[in-house]
């Protein structure tokens, strides 16, 4: 399986050059960490995470520098009552280049608030997909979470280039969920931990009843966004068809995590796309978006009036 290359030159180049898949930026914030912890610890952690993500090969495919996936991770820490143990929120963002432009279209914009882990300065960050939980669950939990989201990033990026292209990476994410660390205060890996967590995200992505969501990702990016600069009217109509597809999906499967996940970070992009549409198209898009992305209804009303 391979990603769709934007130019023949890239295709030729990628066959002779092996490169890591991600162009990731990782920031660790420690403003909410109290006590006498040396702040250099968190700079060391940030460097270690950058190396862990950017220096590891996550797929068997070859990526040229131009094809690396743009993504970012923001880890915001706070203290706990235990030494070297931190609670954190993790904001994950990834984007995908649009053909014939310099524009990056958001694929993921999500915040996970259920992270706890143990870290001491210069501690080795390790991840083994055959032994996800490690010997110390709190130590292993951070790299398990990061590896999980990297596979989600890869899966959705592949999905956007080829139909069902991301299945292998969703299965890898599912393996991490099935073998995730367990322990006091560790959460986000189980169905009973909530309705919007790591368990439910990958469950939705692999649930055979929700296969339409994969068609939506492919059609939105490959048939819509990638054609927007060459055939704007045709591409916009295809994106409207995707909204219709998602509206039907939502009717049959209300309140799924994956539908909300799809729209996070896309509000301004969708407003810009449909602001140039004909009045009937604009009206239809607004009708769908008010149903599908309820939290941003006022923005759509204002932007598409």
Q: What is the pLDDT of residues 135-151, one digit of tens each?
A: 899 999 999 999 999 99
Query: Region 242-268: what's the mean pLDDT?
Result: 97
Phi, psi torsion values for 22, nearest 5 degrees: -110, 145
Phi, psi torsion values for 146, nearest 5 degrees: -60, -45
From 106, 226, 228, select the one nearest 156 (Cα to Cα). 106
From 150, 98, 155, select the one nearest 127 (Cα to Cα). 150
Angle at 92 between CA 285 and CA 95, to 5 degrees: 55
From 163, 235, 167, select the one nearest 207 (Cα to Cα). 167
Q: What is the pLDDT of residues 47-103, one digit of tens each?
A: 999 999 999 999 999 888 888 999 999 999 999 999 999 999 999 999 999 999 999
From 100, 168, 112, 163, select the one nearest 141 (Cα to Cα). 112
Cα–Cα distance list, 136 to 175, 183, 302 (Å): 18, 9, 51
Name every residue whose Cβ is closer than 8 Å to that of residue 203 and which is 6 or more positions away in sequence.
174, 191
Q: What is the mean pLDDT of the chain?
A: 92
Q: What is the pLDDT of residues 244-253, one digit of tens each?
A: 999 999 999 9
Neighbouring C-beta atoms of residue 208, cutoff 10 Å: 5
Global pTM value: 0.93
pLDDT higher than 80, residue 104: yes
Domain ranges within the chain, ordered by starting residue: 19-206, 215-303
pLDDT higher than 70, residue 6: no
């Amino acid at each position: 399986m391979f990603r769709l290359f934007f130019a023949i030159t890239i295709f030729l180049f990628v066959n002779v050059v092996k490169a890591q898949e991600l162009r990731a930026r990782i920031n660790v914030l420690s403003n909410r960490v109290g006590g006498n912890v040396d702040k250099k610890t968190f700079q060391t952690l940030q460097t270690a995470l950058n190396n862990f993500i950017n220096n590891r090969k996550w797929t068997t495919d070859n990526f040229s520098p131009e094809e690396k996936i743009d993504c970012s991770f923001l880890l915001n820490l706070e203290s706990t009552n235990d030494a070297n143990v931190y609670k954190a929120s993790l904001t994950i963002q990834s984007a995908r280049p649009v053909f014939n432009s310099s524009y990056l279209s958001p694929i993921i914009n999500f915040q996970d608030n259920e992270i706890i882990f143990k870290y001491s300065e210069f501690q080795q960050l390790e991840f083994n997909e055959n032994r996800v939980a490690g010997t110390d669950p709190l130590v292993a939990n951070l790299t398990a979470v990061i590896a999980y989201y990297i596979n989600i990033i890869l899966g959705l990026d592949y999905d956007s280039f080829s139909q069902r292209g991301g299945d292998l990476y969703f299965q890898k994410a599912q393996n991490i969920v099935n073998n995730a660390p367990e322990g006091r205060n560790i959460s986000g890996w189980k169905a009973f931990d909530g309705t919007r967590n790591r368990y439910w995200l990958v469950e939705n992505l692999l649930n055979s009843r929700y296969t339409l969501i994969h068609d939506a990702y492919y059609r939105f990016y490959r048939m819509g966004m990638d054609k927007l600069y060459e055939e704007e009217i045709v591409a916009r109509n295809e994106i409207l068809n995707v909204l219709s597809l998602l509206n039907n999906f939502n009717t049959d499967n209300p309140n799924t995590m994956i539908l909300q996940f799809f729209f996070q970070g896309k509000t301004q992009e969708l407003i810009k796309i449909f602001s140039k549409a004909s009045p009937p198209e604009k009206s239809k898009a607004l009708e769908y978006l008010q149903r599908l992305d309820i939290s941003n209804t006022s923005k759509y009303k204002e932007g598409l009036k």
